[in-house]
Amino acid sequence: MSARVGIVVTGTEVLTGRVQDRNGPWLADRLLELGVDLRHTLLCGDRPADIEAQLRFLADQDVDLIITSGGLGPTADDMTVEVVARFCERELVLDGALEVRIGEIVTGLMSKFPGVDLTAVREANRKQALVPAGAVILDPVGTAPGVVIADAPTPTVVVLPGPPRELQPMWRAAVATEAVQSAISGRTQFRQQMIRLFGLPESALADTLRHAELSVEGFERLEITTCLRRGELEIVTRYEPQDAGAYSHLLTVLRDRHADTIFSEDGALVDDQIAGLLDGRTIATAESCTAGLLAARLTERPGSSSYVAGGVVSYSNAAKTALLGVDSALIELHGAVSEPVADAMARGALQRFGADTAVAITGIAGPGGGTATKPVGTVCFSVALADGPAQARTLTRTTTLPGNRTDVRERSTTVAMHLLRRTLIGDLASRQ
């Protein structure tokens, strides 16, 4: 069994959602790289009793190492070091050399703010030089030092600051200490694989995993998590090297049952795959209902300026006609949300931007725009490939997506990306 670790993220601003926790996920990735088994990530506000309760909970779980983030500043609500010292049964002592070092840092920072009472500021920061007796001090990256406490009647504890720009380099310093190396000496080498699927309901995947549980030897040693994200299913499997055979068998089961929906076995995003497929091509977008989100996804990849020709976001019918050349009579006959209009939008984008590939989306994201025949969530897609100056091949589809406006928009971009991927792969295969 690998070394076991728990994380305590402190901060009322994080607990209430005003600030997003970036430290927990970042530390989780670093621990996986080290081959350490992260058992819990806990979140609590800046209350001494709550912080101590999280520490005691982790100690009761027999973890080898506890990592805390946050609560190392000079203000009254920054009390993590004090609570950790009490938890580890250590007295808080003033480190004179550390006090001088923090004073120098503060003096340099305050030089940018004339008129500030430097004596008062340094007195406030003096609190940060109080450390648990016998602790290993981690040099400040900002003004707050970190500490490592070992050889206590508790697990080894690493106390890190809250700002990620300070925590990340300080964690690297903490890992290099003898105390932390000793605490994680039982680490192993984990492997982690991610498979991505599109077009498969969660219930079907659940049925497959139940089947795999009965048919895959060593299945119980695979740590499998599934997540539905933007209409795609992610399967993340973590295992130790000796269980590679069990993972290989699981992958075979998934391929046998869902080969048509697996689009990535190495964790690659559909966005990255499309960036590769667009090599040597140019693409244009035409969007109505997705507010330019598809164009945004296409332009997020490095080097996208070499293949993204441009895009049009057109909500009004007049704009579709003026900007994309969609015949107003076509809109009148079929409605703005229809496959013929999506087809015309894609062709119009090809011509407007001189691209050889185009994607169009037109739909009803809601609320209030649906009808009995076209309810909210109805979205039409079209992918067009130019065969020549006056010709284009198009693939057009209609689907009804669940959720609110944000859900429909996000899922629409995912459907469009997968329709584009399928079309580009098919075109590539036809040319070989």
The domain made up of 191-267 is a member of CATH 3.30.70.2860: yes
4-183: CATH topology is Molybdenum Cofactor Biosythetic Enzyme; Chain A (3.40.980)
pLDDT above 70: residue 124? no
341 and 289 Cβ atoms separated by less than 8 Å: no
Q: Write down the pLDDT at residue 77.
A: 83
Question: Residue 225: pLDDT band by 50, 70, 90 thresholds?
Answer: very high
Q: What is the pLDDT of residue 111?
A: 64
Length of the chain: 432
pLDDT tens across 254-292, in order? 999 999 999 999 999 999 999 999 999 999 999 999 999
- Homologous superfamily in CATH for domain 271-431: CinA-like (3.90.950.20)
The predicted structure's pLDDT at residue 432: 72
Mean pLDDT value of segment 373-391: 87
The residue among 78 and 212 whose pLDDT is bigger is 212
CA dist 54 to 42, 61, 207, 224, Å? 7, 11, 36, 26
Domain ranges of the chain: 4-183, 191-267, 271-431
pLDDT at position 120: 62
Q: Is residue 380 within 8 Å of residue 341, measured between CB atoms?
A: yes
pLDDT at 386 over 80: yes
Phi, psi (5° rounding) for residue 236? -110, 125
**Residue 74: predicted pLDDT:** 83
What does pTM read for this prediction? 0.75
Q: What is the pLDDT of residues 306-342, one digit of tens each?
A: 999 999 999 999 999 999 999 999 999 999 999 999 9
- Within 61-117, residue ranges assigned H as helices are 80-87, 96-110
For range 344-355, the mean pLDDT: 96
Sign of the Cα torsion 415, 320, 347, 330 reads positive
What is the pLDDT of the chain when averaged over all its residues? 92
First to last CA, the chain: 50
